[in-house]
Structure 1
Amino acid sequence: MKKQITVLATILMGVLISFTSCQEMMVAPEVDNSNENNFRQMWQKFDSHYGLFLVKNIDWNKVYTSHLPMAQAARTDAELFSVLSSTVHVLDDKHINIYTNSPELTDYNSGENGHIPAQEDFDFKVVREKYLTEYHAETDDFGYGKLTSDIGYIHIKSFQGEFSFYEKNMVKAIDALASTKGIVFDIRDHKGGSDQVSKYIAGRFSSSKKLFMTSRKRNGPGHDQFDTAVNWYVEPTGKSQYTKPVILLTTSTTISAGETFTFAMLENANVTHIGTKTAGAFTDVIAHQLPNGWIITVGVGDYRGSDGKSYEGIGITPKISSENKKVDVINGVDKTLELARQRLE
């Protein structure tokens, strides 16, 4: 039992660290731990909190009706896991996960229809060892340097942590790269974080105030009940702005706050987007513990671009498409980065 509690605590901490800004932990009271009740609890949590039923045109009651008999028939954890996975697979959402405390069952991601795969089209180690002439790492997730004497490079893997960290270190990065003629901003392995950080950093490359996103969150039992929509604007931030050419690199791994950052950056006239479509999972999430100890994550909002459209399950398409092949990455070649560098030379 002690081992299970330790594993669960590790999972809980991982969930809280790995997802976007407005997270909260909802721990269920002691209740019926039958497979049927675990299914009901999960279905009800989505019913009351999930923000994208209307966007995705999902009949959640129909899902309940079709899956309840399966849950009632389930006799093992593996059978329950299969039922719950099938239930949320209907939503096709990369922000939805089921974390178990079982090494045999592992976890499930709705958008991937299984375990989240390892990234194969990008390896920062290749960039650092093969392409950068200098690099200053503030943390494993944040650093800046140069690809050539006059082409800068910034790599940020997440927007998690204190806001002041990003304020301080963006000053260092912008000051160090101020004399370059262009910057490659690399978020190809971005795992999310704070939308406020997204907005601030994009503002370091802005020359005017522009709407980049609207967001609203569920606030009632009805699938159409939301709080008042919030307008998000990108505008100049910091003591100075870098308004020379910037190339933003993304992949399908770029998710959540990495995508809201992409929204914001694309409102800046000096930014060109290269790579592959982003993950298509923008909203904030909450984590909820089921009676059996498993953890589910639920997206609670409806986030849209400045054009009023939802890109959930779709992602943001780059202006210029470029995808690295696994074999090239293994051999230390990053053709997407080479393309970005060439466009700035």
Structure 2
Amino acid sequence: MKKQLTILTGILIALLFSFSSCQEMMVGPEVDNSNETNFRQMWEKFDSHYGLFLVKNIDWNKVYASHLPMAKAAKTDAELFSVLSSAVHILDDKHINIYTNSPALTDYNSGLNGHIPAQEDFDFKVVREKYLTEYHEETEDFIYGKLTPEIGYIHIESFHGEFSFYEKNMEKAITALSSTKGIIFDIRNHKGGSDLVSRHVAGRFASSKKLFMTSKKRNGPRHDQFEAPINWYVEPTGKSQYTKPVILLTTSTTISAGETFTFAMRENDNVTHIGTKTAGAFSDVIAQQLPNGWIITVGVGDYRGSDSKSYEGVGITPKIISENMKADVLKGVDKTLELALRRMD
């Protein structure tokens, strides 16, 4: 998820707990908390803000017509959750969530049957214990080191946090690995974060300025109303750039700002992309609390690659496909990493 979601969700959850602790002290107008109202408010929030109806060719009015009767007929929270989940599942968007704040109900993540499965084709513990010969951990999400005396390695799990953190630690990593003949940059479990960070980090490997992405956000009630597009360029950043060969590793769990980073890195002439295609969920999101306290997240943007194509719901396909098998990972073998090492020879 993008940083905006993290902040908004935190605020909403804080408000929710505040309300729960103070509700006996406060008296006000009764809120319409019917299942119908909760469905309508969710549908309306998507109708007015979601940025991908046209990209995905979704008839949202048809979804309303088919699901409103089901919402009216719902008798329990579980039945309402099923109706709301069914409606947003049609969008096939991994940035959509329904947080129920209920121990009796699960939360919902759109795509992949509504849930994010455990990653089986990558385990950083295998890389750390079986392959790294040098290892420096700035945080659990930011690690760099060496696989051999000549091959460097960087593993970043997210771009959440302050811009200055990545600026400072990328300088450390690039300096430490400057004498290597190549670097493997591993984002196979990247959770997203800030696009500004992804652009800066990719710029440490750039030798020229290139367009890598355009983005635009909904700003009106019609599904085709957007702000003017923003052009995103990758260009040299930091004190120096690493322009020797770099291999970028991704999987289907590489999401959001990890994917915009992939867009940027692929524009650098020295980068080769290996692994499996990314998650296909790029947009910034906003969050809203429904009358019953549940929180929904809504993607508001339309992000495109430098080729002007949308990769939402599709993902970015690597130049070289390589997928680890669960059985190999359990045995401590990372065949995709081994392929990348061979490519560096």
Band of TM-score, shorter chain: over 0.9
Aligned match of 1:254: 254
Aligned match of 1:158: 158
The whole-number CA distance in structure 2 between the counterparts of 1:63 and 1:247 is 43
Cα shift at 1:167? 0.5
The whole-number CA distance in structure 1 between the counterparts of 2:30 and 2:335 is 54
Correspondence 1:277-292 to 2 at 5 A: 277-292=277-292
Cα shift at 1:233? 0.1
Normalising by structure 2, we get a TM-score of: 0.93
Aligned match of 2:227: 227
Q: Give the partner amino acid of 1:220.
A: G
The whole-number CA distance in structure 2 between the counterparts of 1:22 and 1:56 is 23
Q: Give the partner amino acid of 1:302.
A: D
Aligned match of 1:90: 90
Give SS of 1:296's match.
strand
Cα shift at 1:156? 0.0
Q: Give the partner amino acid of 1:62.
A: K
Aligned match of 2:189: 189
1:22 and 2:33 matched: no
Give SS of 2:3's match.
coil
Give CA deviations for 1:61-111 in whole Å, capped at 9, x if unaligned.
Answer: 110000000000000001001000100011000001111112232111111
The whole-number CA distance in structure 2 between the counterparts of 1:93 and 1:188 is 19
Would the aligned equivalents of 1:211 and 1:306 in 2 still touch at CA under 8 Å? yes
Aligned match of 1:330: 330
Aligned match of 1:3: none
The whole-number CA distance in structure 2 between the counterparts of 1:247 and 1:219 is 38
Give CA deviations for 1:106-151 in whole Å, capped at 9, x if unaligned.
Answer: 1111112222111111000000000000110000000100000000
Would the aligned equivalents of 1:30 and 1:291 in 2 still touch at CA under 8 Å? no
The whole-number CA distance in structure 1 between the counterparts of 2:36 and 2:313 is 29
Would the aligned equivalents of 1:100 and 1:293 in 2 still touch at CA under 8 Å? yes
The whole-number CA distance in structure 2 between the counterparts of 1:113 and 1:82 is 12
Correspondence 1:292-331 to 2 at 5 A: 292-331=292-331
The whole-number CA distance in structure 2 between the counterparts of 1:296 and 1:79 is 17
The whole-number CA distance in structure 1 between the counterparts of 2:194 and 2:8 is 17
Cα shift at 1:155? 0.1
Aligned match of 1:14: none
Q: Give the partner amino acid of 2:69.
A: P
Q: Give the partner amino acid of 2:230.
A: V
Give SS of 1:91's match.
coil
The whole-number CA distance in structure 2 between the counterparts of 1:202 and 1:284 is 19
The whole-number CA distance in structure 1 between the counterparts of 2:31 and 2:297 is 20
Cα–Cα, structure 1 residues 94 and 30, in superposed 2: closer, same or farther, change >3 Å? farther
Q: Give the partner amino acid of 1:91.
A: L
Q: Choose 215-224 or 22-31, whichever is displaced more.
A: 22-31
Give SS of 2:175's match.
helix
Give SS of 1:201's match.
helix
Give SS of 1:22's match.
helix
The whole-number CA distance in structure 2 between the counterparts of 1:126 and 1:120 is 12
Cα shift at 1:48? 0.7
Identity among equivalent pairs (%) = 83
Aligned match of 2:20: none
Aligned match of 2:25: none
Would the aligned equivalents of 1:143 and 1:154 in 2 still touch at CA under 8 Å? yes
Aligned match of 1:8: none
Q: Which runs of 5+ in 2 are unaligned?
A: 16-28
Correspondence 1:18-167 to 2 at 5 A: 19-23=1-5, 25=8, 31-167=31-167
Would the aligned equivalents of 1:200 and 1:237 in 2 still touch at CA under 8 Å? yes
Cα shift at 1:25? 3.1
Q: Give the partner amino acid of 2:281.
A: A
Would the aligned equivalents of 1:249 and 1:273 in 2 still touch at CA under 8 Å? yes
Would the aligned equivalents of 1:289 and 1:295 in 2 still touch at CA under 8 Å? yes
Aligned match of 1:179: 179
The whole-number CA distance in structure 1 between the counterparts of 2:107 and 2:207 is 44
Normalising by structure 1, we get a TM-score of: 0.93
Q: Give the partner amino acid of 2:282.
A: F
Aligned match of 2:273: 273
The whole-number CA distance in structure 2 between the counterparts of 1:141 and 1:163 is 14
Cα shift at 1:30? 6.8
Give SS of 1:184's match.
strand
Give SS of 1:25's match.
helix
Cα shift at 1:314? 0.2
The whole-number CA distance in structure 2 between the counterparts of 1:210 and 1:31 is 52
Q: Choose 322-331 or 106-115, whichever is displaced more.
A: 106-115
The whole-number CA distance in structure 2 between the counterparts of 1:146 and 1:152 is 4
Give SS of 1:143's match.
strand
Q: Which runs of 5+ in 1 are unaligned?
A: 1-18
Aligned match of 1:206: 206
Kindly report the root-mean-square deviation, in angstroms, between the aligned alpha carbons of the 2 structures. Answer: 1.3
Give CA deviations for 1:201-257 in whole Å, capped at 9, x if unaligned.
Answer: 000000000000000000111111111100000000001000000000000000000
